[in-house]
Amino acid sequence: MKKQLIRQTREHFQHRYHQAPEALFLSPGRINIIGEHVDYNDGFVLPAAINKYVCFAFRKTDNEMISLDAKDINESYSLSIHDNLVPVEPMWVNYLLGVLDELKRRNKKIAGFQMTFSSTVPMGSGLSSSAAVECGLAFALNTLFDLGLSRQEIALIGQQAEHRFAGVKCGIMDQFASVFGKKNKVIKLDCTTLDYTYYEANLGEYSLLLLDSCVKHTHLTSGYNDRRNEVEVGLKMIQSQFPAVHTFRDCSLEMIEQLKTELGDIIYKRCLFVVKEIARVSQAVAALQAKDFSLLGQTMTETHWGLSKEYEVSCPEIDFLVETILQQEGVLGSRMMGGGFGGCSINLIPKAQEKTIIATMKSAYFEKFGIHLNYYPVKISKGTTQYKKA
C-alpha cells in the first residue's frame, strides 16, 4: 500500500511536471485510543500515527511560482510566493495555503516549488487527513528550504492553518500525532505543556479495528466550534465560583454538580464529560501499562457513551456500530473516534475473531442503514518523514 502510494505519487509528478521529483515525504493519519475533545480543554490524549499516509513529491524551481497538485482529484492550483494569502475555493487548497501563510507570519522564507500529493488516509473519516496534509507540507518545506523549525513548531503551524484557513478551532492532538508518531507506540500528550511520553502499544491477543460509518462529518465544523464555545462558557462560570480553578484539570465532579443549576442542562453535560474524560485517560494509560485490556476496553466504551450522551457529538450510525460490536464475542471496547458527527469507531477486539466480527458488522450495518461499512485494521507507525529514495 505504502510502496504503491509512493510509486504512484512519483509517477504522477513526473507526468505532471515532466521531471522527476527531488524529494518525497510521507505524513500519516492518526488514531486516538482515548481522550476525545479534551485536547482543547487542557486534558491528556492518547493518539498514535497509523500506516495510512499522505505522500508528497516536490521539486524546487528557480522562479517564484508555487504549483500545488492534488493527484487523487485531478485538480491543481498555482500562486506566486508574493501573493496575499486568504482562504479560497476549492477547500483542499486551504490546508496548504494555511501552512504557507503561517510560514509567512513566522518570517520563514521559501522560494518557488512544484508539488503533487496523493493520500491513503480516508477523507472525512476522523483519521485526520487534513492534519496529515498540513504537517506534511510544513515538514517538507522545512526540509527543502532549511527553515529551522522543530517538530513541535510544525505541529503548531498545522493547527494554526486549520484555525485560520479551514475554520475549525481544533486542538493540537491530530497534528502532534502525525508529526511525533513512532512505530508501535502510543503518545500520551499533555495538551497544556505539550510534554509527551511514548507507551508501547502492546495489546497482546487484541487488536484495534476501525469501522468507518461512511457518514461524512459535514456538521463537524459548526458542531465542533459550538462545543468549544460551550465549554469555554462553562469554564468561566466554574472559575467565577471557584477562583482556584485555572483549567478543567483543576475541576472536580463535585464542583460541576454543585453548579448544575447555574450551568444549565447543556453546559452542565459538556463540563461533566470533559472532567470525566480527563480522568479516563489516566485510567486507560494505567490499564495499558498493566496489560489490563478489559479495563482499557471498558474505559473506551465509557468514553463513547459520554461523547454520545453528554458531549453529543456521535450519530445514530456510530452508536449502532458501538452497540452491535460490543455484543460480539470477546470484544472489549468500542467508541467513536475523532471530532465526531460521523467518521470511524475504534474497537478493541480479539485478533482471532477479526474476520468474523467484520463480516457480522458489515451485514448488520447494511441491513440497518443500507450503507456499505468500510473497515481498516491499523498498524501504529512513525510520524511525518522524508522518504529517502526520491
Rounded to 10 degrees, what is the CA torsion of 309, 44, 381, 356? Answer: -30
Give the interface with ligand GAF as residue ranges (CB under 6 A): 36-37, 39-40, 128, 170-171, 173-174, 338-339
Point out the catalytic residue in the list 39, 42, 69, 174. 174
Residues in the chain: 390
Shortest distance in whole angstroms from residue 90 CB to ligand GAF: 20
Smaller CB separation from ligand GAF, 132 or 332: 132
Active site residue 174: yes
Measured between alpha carbons, how far is 66 from 17 in angstroms, rounded to an integer? Answer: 12
Smaller CB separation from ligand GAF, 191 or 361: 191
Which residue has 473506551 as its cell numbers?
Answer: 300
By the 8 A CB rule, do 76 and 67 touch?
A: yes
Smaller CB separation from ligand GAF, 263 or 313: 313
Smaller CB separation from ligand GAF, 122 or 171: 171
Q: Residue 331 in 3-state DSSP?
A: coil
By the 8 A CB rule, do 28 and 53 touch?
A: yes
Establish how many alpha carbons lie within 13 A of residue 316's alpha carbon, considering only the half-sphere containing its beta carbon.
4
Smaller CB separation from ligand GAF, 21 or 342: 342
Shortest distance in whole angstroms from residue 56 CB to ligand GAF: 21
Shortest distance in whole angstroms from residue 339 CB to ligand GAF: 3
Shortest distance in whole angstroms from residue 10 CB to ligand GAF: 30
Smaller CB separation from ligand GAF, 36 or 102: 36
Measured between alpha carbons, how far is 340 from 224 in angstroms, rounded to an integer? Answer: 8
Shortest distance in whole angstroms from residue 313 CB to ligand GAF: 8
With b for 16 or more beta-carbon neighbours within 10 A and e for fewer, the 194-228 pattern comes to eebeebebebeebbbbbbbbbbebebbbebbeebb
How would DSSP label each residue in 150-177? Answer: -HHHHHHHHHHHIIIII-----SHHHHH
H helices present in 209-327, as ranges: 220-241, 253-258, 260-289, 293-305, 316-325
Shortest distance in whole angstroms from residue 95 CB to ligand GAF: 12
H helices present in 64-163, as ranges: 91-105, 129-144, 151-161
Active-site residue numbers?
174
